[in-house]
Amino acid sequence: MSEEVKTTEETLYCECCGCVIDDDDYTEWNGQIICSDCLENHTTTCECCGERIWDEDVYGDNDITLCSHCYHHNYTRCSCCDALLHEDDAYYLDGETYCRDCYEDEREESNLIHEYGYKPNPIFYGEGNRYFGIELEIDGAGRDDDFAEELLDIANARAELLYIKTDGSLDDGMELVSHPCTMNYHINEFPWEDIMHRAVRQGYRSHQTSTCGLHLHVNRNAFSDSQEGQDEVISRILYFVEHHWNELLKFSRRSEYTMNRWAARYGYEHTPKAIMDKAKKGGNGRYAAVNLCNYHTVEFRLFRGTLKYNTFIATIQLVNRICDVAMYNTDDSIAKLSWSDFVADVTEPELIQYLKERQLYVNEEVCAEEEM
């Protein structure tokens, strides 16, 4: 659009239209001298950041003017009607982006509560290589589409983080399933606390039932790129669980009966490899404390369900710690690791609080809120 500027000591020329500029009737912008008429007729300002741009560089629609940077970094489009949306106003369903109206239409046509076998393509959230996929069972208030919609609206307001399934082991409830996220993402970005508060207000319970569990899946390739390396780490996870079974049973809030029914142990052996061999030959199937039946993940099934946020976060932190000790210890050193040594290295406040509540942290007792 611009032409080479022509200047003399007495004369200025507009670099847009080439006309002589009278007096001070111009603006120096973006390294160019522009007369006031061209500035008014051929430029505008981005309504997001306030930067001035050429008319031909405008993004947006009839309702909003945007520069390229703001358009590509802060806005998206509805997959159905192509409406321009700020990311804060977008809704997500099955990997697609929608405006509110199209989202409601899609939700009416789709099942809010999927069948138990439903498995969408995973969406990974957070920076890192260790991801946690979480299954939280809630019971007592029904397989209710309206309640499910409320929970999904909270969870998926900014990204598609959660879906809901039926589960035959529940009396009158449903299973909340997250897409895989790093621990930091679960704690700092995922609106778990708001989801739990709403579920409690809806009448659901998790700990206060005889049916609900909290299951955590960890991706196997977080342990190693090789099958052999993965098996070595997993064998030490199994050894840690068996070696500290009494403490983990107390942490889990399960009874021995429900643990044996839904998350049975493999049985103690003197080496990680021996326990791994037993697990591979065992008949527990997926109802094992550490389920190895999934090709891509290891599933920790020990824990009773909860709608108490601190307990929930502490459980993720515990599993993360167990993975760490399995990765960074040898077979010999993990055999020498006492429970006291293990908890002495804990720094996460939620996990420390919960360990104290369960009297698993240097015999220090604290007052605990009621589990939900």
Both tokens of 193, joined, read: 């606390």
Q: Dihedral (C-alpha) 28, 29, 32, 33: value to the nearest 10 degrees?
A: -30
pLDDT of 366 reads 59
pLDDT of 5 reads 46
pLDDT of 347 reads 97
For residues 350 and 238, membership in a common domain is answered with yes
pLDDT of 282 reads 75
What is the total residue count of the chain? 372
Strand-pairing partners, residue 12, are 21
Q: Which regions in the chain score pLDDT beneath 70?
A: 1-10, 108-110, 283, 363-368
- Whether 119 is in a domain gets the answer no
pLDDT of 304 reads 98
The dihedrals phi and psi of 164, each to the nearest 5 degrees, come to -130, 140
Both tokens of 179, joined, read: 């897409």
For residues 188 and 337, membership in a common domain is answered with yes
Question: Domain range spanning residue 24?
Answer: 1-45
d(CA 260, CA 249): 11
Give me the residue label for tokens 């909003």: 64
For residues 159 and 283, membership in a common domain is answered with yes
Instruction: Encode pLDDT of 283-304 as tens digits.
Output: 678 899 999 999 999 999 999 9
pLDDT of 364 reads 59
Give me the residue label for tokens 């698993």: 360
For residues 4 and 138, membership in a common domain is answered with no
Count the helix, strand and coil residues of the chain and give each as a percent rounded to the nearest 5: 40, 20, 40
- Whether 371 is in a domain gets the answer no
For residues 146 and 258, membership in a common domain is answered with yes
The dihedrals phi and psi of 20, each to the nearest 5 degrees, come to -70, 135
Question: Considering its fold, how many domains does the chain have in total?
Answer: 3
- Whether 118 is in a domain gets the answer no
For residues 273 and 168, membership in a common domain is answered with yes
- Whether 291 is in a domain gets the answer yes
Alpha helical stretches, state H, 128-220? 145-155, 183-188, 192-202
- Whether 370 is in a domain gets the answer no
pTM over 0.85: no
